[in-house]
Amino acid sequence: MLSDELRSHLCGRLLPFWKGLRDKEHGGFYGWMDSELRVDRKAVKGCILNSRILWFFSNAYLSLGGASQPGKENGADGLREYADWAYRFLRDKCVDAQRGGVYWSLDYRGEPEDTTKHTYNQAFAVYALSSYFRAYHDWEALELAERLIGVIEVRCFDEQGYREALDVAFRPVANDKLSENGVMADRTMNTLLHVLEAYTEYLLACREAQRQVGARRDWQQAVTGKLYWILDLVAERVYNPERRRQEVFFNLSMESLIDLHSYGHDIEAAWLIDRCLEVLGDEGLTRRMSPILRSLEAEVYEKAYAHHSLANECERGVVDEKRVWWVQAEGVVGFYNASQKTGERRYLEAAEDIWGFIRVHLVDVRPEGEWFWYTDADGNPALEKPIVEPWKCPYHNGRMCMEIMRRSAQS
Q: What is the CATH number of the domain that holds 204?
A: 1.50.10.10
* 3-state SS record for 290-326: HHHHHHHHHHHHHHHEECCEECCEEECCEEECCEEHH
Q: What is the mean pLDDT of residues 38-59?
A: 98
Residue 368 belongs to what domain range? 2-410
Confidence bin at 71 (pLDDT 50/70/90): very low
The tens digit of pLDDT for each residue in 351-367 reads 999 999 999 999 999 99
Q: Smallest Cα–Cα separation from 29: which of 56, 62, 7? A: 56
Least confident of 59-68, 179-188, 264-273: 59-68
pLDDT(169) > 80: yes
Tens-place pLDDT, residues 275-310: 999 999 999 999 999 999 999 999 999 999 999 999
> Would the pLDDT of 4 be above 60?
yes
Residue 69, pLDDT > 60, answer no
What's the confidence (pLDDT) of residue 159?
85
- Averaged pLDDT of the chain: 96
Is 50 exceeded by the pLDDT of residue 397? yes
**pLDDT at position 410:** 86
pLDDT of residue 387: 97
Q: What percent of the chain has pLDDT over 70?
A: 98
pLDDT bracket for residue 73 (50, 70, 90): very low
The 10s digit of each residue's pLDDT in 146-161 is 999 999 999 999 988 9
Number of structural domains (the chain) is: 1
Phi, psi (degrees; rounded to nearest 5) at 374: -160, 165
Query: Using CB atoms within 10 A of its CB, is residue 70 exposed (0-12), middle (13-18) or buried (19+)?
Result: exposed
For the segment 307-319, the average pLDDT, to the nearest whole number, is 98
The amino acid that residue 12 corresponds to is: G
Cβ(160)–Cβ(236) under 8 Å?
no
- At 6 the pLDDT is 98
- What pLDDT score does 75 carry? 59
The least confident of 15-19, 24-28, 73-77, 118-122 is: 73-77
The total number of residues shown for the chain amounts to 411
Q: What pLDDT is recorded for position 76?
A: 73
- Alpha helix stretches (DSSP H) within 114-219: 119-136, 139-150, 189-213
DSSP per-residue string spanning 309-371: EE--EEETTEEE--EEHHHHHHHHHHHHHHHHHH--HHHHHHHHHHHHHIIIIIB--STT--B
Look up residue 256 and give its amino acid.
S
Q: Which stretch of DSSP H or E encloses residue 4? A: helix 2-9
Q: What is the pLDDT of residue 72?
A: 44
pLDDT, tens digit, for every residue of 131-142? 999 999 999 999
Q: HSE (CB half, 13 Å, CA atoms) of 165?
A: 15
Q: What mean pLDDT do residues 46-66 have?
A: 95
Using pLDDT thresholds of 50, 70 and 90, give the confidence band for residue 67. Answer: very low
Kindly state the average pLDDT of the residues 156-167. 95
* Helices and strands (H, E) in the chain, number of each type: 13, 18
Say if residue 379's pLDDT is above 70.
yes
Q: What pLDDT is attached to residue 370?
A: 98
For 283, residues 6+ apart whose C-beta sits below 8 A from its C-beta are: none
